[in-house]
A and B are shown apart, each in its own frame.
Chain A
Amino acid sequence: MSKLRIHPHLRIPALAVLALAGLCALYPAPSQARTIHLIETGSTLLYPLFNLWVPIYTATHPGIRITTEATGSGTGIAQATADLVQLGASDAYLSPALQRLHPGLLNIPLAISSQMVNYNLPGLNDRPLHLSGSVLAAIYAGQIRYWNAPAIRALNPGLTLPHHLILPIHRSDGSGDTFIFTQYLSFSTPAWMMTTGYGTTVSWPSVRGEIGATGNPGMVQALATNPYAIAYIGVSYRSAILKDHLGQAWLKNRAGRFVSLTHSTVEAAVASRAPHTPPDQSISLVFAPGAQSYPIINYEYAIVKEHQASRHMAQAVRQLLDWAIAPTGGNAPSFLNRVGFAPLPKLAVLQSRRQIAKIH
């Protein structure tokens, strides 16, 4: 039997061709004539939820392929406006200036997220600390420097707080978490609103001992490794906080009550604020009135262009979004509970459907 001989110079190209053929065999051409490929990019807070949705959704909707990317809310907005992706994901609603600049851009709430304020106080992490917006603003502005400052002691009678420098941790990358946290500080403390304000990035006052961390995982890591630090972290990371035995504060709401982050306090906040949502759904849910309302919650938005590249694409986007906000679809507790999100209230679902119907 004669052996197959390949000229030495041709061996590498021959191997490459073989490898390519192998790859092609692994990825067969789609059997369906028309496969629609949707791309989602943006918020790292929405990303885990999209990743729970996609396998279930694509299994029941053949002909749809969805790619998800965690890049950040700003990128989500920018790429949706530039027609690079069909779905941008953002923790913050579009600013009035952006809406004027891009008239056909919709922000459609998909679910409700909330935020924890966590701390690492050795020996006190299992005792819920009471904190208010104005005390947090003073900590992040460097006016309250020590854990046993009178203002903190006054909110926590009966707790022996250490005389130790507070290390405030904030996000150094642009973030929807910074947006809602600084909104809580701004709405509760006029002085903060005047000097620093709110945004996905703010010009943080310089404070001794402060730490800038990247992403929610970076926040958890910085908090876990730095005793006497304080941080604001998205609710999806609650399991990481519990695992590291870090503290979670009760926050003072607009009614002056201290509330913990639970299903019922989030629902109370949604119930009090959601009826005021305008038709374009650009609204902050932070610092909602009501005795039981948890103060830091927000809509998680899909940023979508009204006019899509083709009729089929528009139909695929509408179908996906309609499914995502349905209580029996993407808003089912089986999905939301796993990331700590709350479902949209009935009114918001109706408004979202009206916005989704505009996509063409």
Chain B
Amino acid sequence: MWFRRLLAFFALLVPLVLLGIAVFLVFYAWPAIHYNGLDFLWRDTWNIGNQYANPVQRHGETVMPGAQFGILFLVAGTLGSALIALLFAFPLGLGAALFLSEAVPHRFGHFVSFFVELLAGIPSVVFGLWGIVFLIPFLSHHVFPVLARLFHFVPFLTRPIGSGYGLLTSSLVLCLMIVPFITATLRDALRSQSTEMREAGISLGATRFEVATRILLPGQKTALAGATMLAFGRALGETMAVLMVSGNALNYLPHNIYSPISTMAAFIVAQLDSALADPTGMAVRSLAEIAVLLLVISLITNGIARLLIGMLKEHTL
């Protein structure tokens, strides 16, 4: 009996911690949610107010004069960078997984897989450093000018190309960070499929490509959707690497793909120190409101993933 209770305790611990964090965040952020209202989502102003003036009363809360918090630019930066990263990472991850499970001898596949998994384990600050020292100068001097000239007729891809810090750079760094997730998950799923399926396909005269795309992949739709959403979730919450290469735009939306952005997670880190000096505490509470929103977005992402997986499962059956 005690054993069962112990297990129940351990099993409940994880959801309880999650619930505890969520409840704490909402309670802590409540004055900010009340003060900022819905404008929080639709406005592009983050202004902690004049810290050297006297606090004033507004909307029933004590704030520094001029304090106004709106994070539309953060929501746009977060979703934009994660979506573009996924756009690159999906075909890359899919291709790499197919290659590793179908196209190469097992021993070589194992060898390369080891490096893919290693890539997943690299701390994000290393990606950020590499992004600053190598990727940004390289992109801004050699890649972006060419890209802007080639696509001068596409609105979001034209000049100005800026300094290299920005949306596309963040997306590329994020892409490298999430490709291993997609590759590793999908490769395992593909490997788990029986050899008979492959043999049957080839005996019917299908090429290797056809076996992979017509027989193996359709059976792994769920794994593919799951891996993609997992990767998307990781891209949404990534902090350090994005903080280092995003250009940390404040209070404006990206005007093209090279433009500086800022993401919700990175912004919390960047602004916490200043916010701590706010005597009214509203700045820190507004940062907590961003955290609540980030939590909600990840819950929605996860929810969509589950829904998608459920739908695909029904469809296959």
Q: In whole Å, how far is B212's beta carbon from the nearest beta carbon of chain A? A: 42
Q: Is the interface of B mostly helix, strand, loop or mixed?
A: loop
B248 pairs with A74, CB closer than 8 A: no
Query: Shortest distance in angstroms between A227's beta carbon and chain B's nearest beta carbon?
Result: 10
Contacts of B213 in A (CB 8 A): none
Q: How far is the CB of A163 from chain B (nearest CB, A)?
A: 15
Chain A residues with CB under 8 Å of B273's CB are 71-75, 173-175, 200
A211 adjacent to B243 (CB under 8 Å): no
CA distance A208 to B163 in the complex (A): 10
> Is the pair A98, B248 in contact by a Cβ cutoff of 8 Å?
no
Stretch at the interface among B46-54, B105-113, B184-192, B291-299: B46-54
Contact A172 B262, beta carbon cutoff 8 Å: yes
B251:A204 contact, CB within 8 angstroms: yes
> Does A167 touch B at the CB level, under 8 Å?
yes
| Shortest distance from the beta carbon of A210 to any chain B beta carbon, whole Å | 7
CB of A96 within 8 A of CB of B54, answer yes
- Which residues from chain B contact A95 at a C-beta distance below 8 Å? 51-52, 277, 279
- Which one of B45, B48, B270 lies within 8 Å of A172 (CB-CB)? B270
Q: Does A97 contact B (CB under 8 A)?
A: yes
> Contacts A75-B273, A98-B277, A174-B271 hold; do A204 and B50 have CB atoms under 8 A apart?
no
Interface size on A, residues (CB 8 A): 42
**A77 at interface by CB-CB < 8 Å:** yes
Bound-state CA distance A165–B161 (Å) is 12
Instruction: Give the complex CA separation of A101 and B276 in angstroms.
Output: 13
CA distance A229 to B247 in the complex (A): 13
For chain B, which range describes its interface: under 10, 10 to 19, 20 to 34, or 35 or more residues?
35 or more
Residue of A nearest to B129 (CB): A221
Interface residues of A in 64-101 (CB under 8 A from B): 71-75, 77-78, 92, 95-98, 100-101
Chain A residues with CB under 8 Å of B136's CB are 225
B250 with A203: CB separation less than 8 A: yes
In the assembly, what is the distance between CA of A211 and CA of B280, in Å? 29
Contact between chains at A222 and B165 (CB < 8 Å): yes
- Closest chain-B Cβ to A237's Cβ sits at a distance in Å of 16
Q: A200: which of B46, B260, B277 is its contact (CB, 8 Å)?
A: B277
The answer for the CA separation of A135 and B127 in the assembled complex, in Å, is 37
In the complex, chain A residues whose CB is within 8 Å of the CB of B250 = 172, 203-204, 206, 212
Bound Cα distance from A213 to B165, whole angstroms: 10
Report B-chain residues with C-beta under 8 Å of the C-beta of A212: 165, 247-250, 260, 262, 270
* Cβ-based interface call for B272 (8 A): yes
Digit string of B21-62 for contact with A (CB within 8 Å is 1, else 0)? 000000000000000000000000111101111110000000
> Cβ of B51 and Cβ of A97 under 8 Å apart?
yes
Smallest CB gap from B250: residue in A: A204
Q: Tell whether B164 is near chain A: CB-to-CB under 8 Å.
A: yes
User: B165 touching A199 by the CB < 8 A rule?
Assistant: no
Identify which of A73, A206, A213 gathers the most chain B CB atoms within 10 Å of its CB. A206
Q: When each residue 264-277 of chain B gets 1 if its CB lies under 8 Å from chain A and 0 otherwise, what string results? A: 00000111111111
Chain B residues near A73 (CB-CB < 8 A): 273, 277
CB of A226 within 8 Å of the partner chain: yes
Determine how close the nearest CB of chain A comes to the CB of B160; give it in whole angstroms: 6
Chain A contacts for B235, CB-based, 8 A = none
CA distance A77 to B274 in the complex (A): 10
Contact of A165 among B46, B160, B270, B272 (CB under 8 A): B160
A224 CB to closest chain B CB (Å) equals 9
Question: Cα distance A197–B67 when bound, in Å?
Answer: 12
Least CB separation from B274: chain A residue: A174
Contact status A173-B164, CB under 8 Å: no
Q: A172-B262, A199-B48, A199-B52 are in contact. Are A214 and B244 (CB under 8 A)?
A: yes
> Contacts A199-B51, A211-B260; is A77 near B277 (CB within 8 Å)?
yes
Q: Which residues of B contact A206 (CB under 8 A)?
A: 249-252
Which residues from chain A contact B276 at a C-beta distance below 8 Å?
74-75, 77-78, 174
**In whole angstroms, what is the CA distance A105 to B160 when docked?**
49
Is the pair A214, B248 in contact by a Cβ cutoff of 8 Å?
yes
Would you give the shortest CB distance from B163 to chain A, in whole angstroms? 5
Q: A97-B64, A101-B279 known; A209 and B274 CB under 8 Å?
A: no
Q: Nearest 6 A-B pairs (CB), nearest first?
A: A174-B274, A212-B248, A172-B248, A72-B273, A201-B274, A74-B273
Given A173-B270, A173-B273, 4 more A-B residue pairs with CB atoms under 8 Å apart are A71-B273, A73-B273, A101-B279, A203-B46
Contact sample, A vs B, 9 pairs, CB 8 Å cutoff: A72-B273, A78-B276, A98-B277, A172-B270, A204-B250, A206-B251, A210-B260, A225-B137, A225-B164
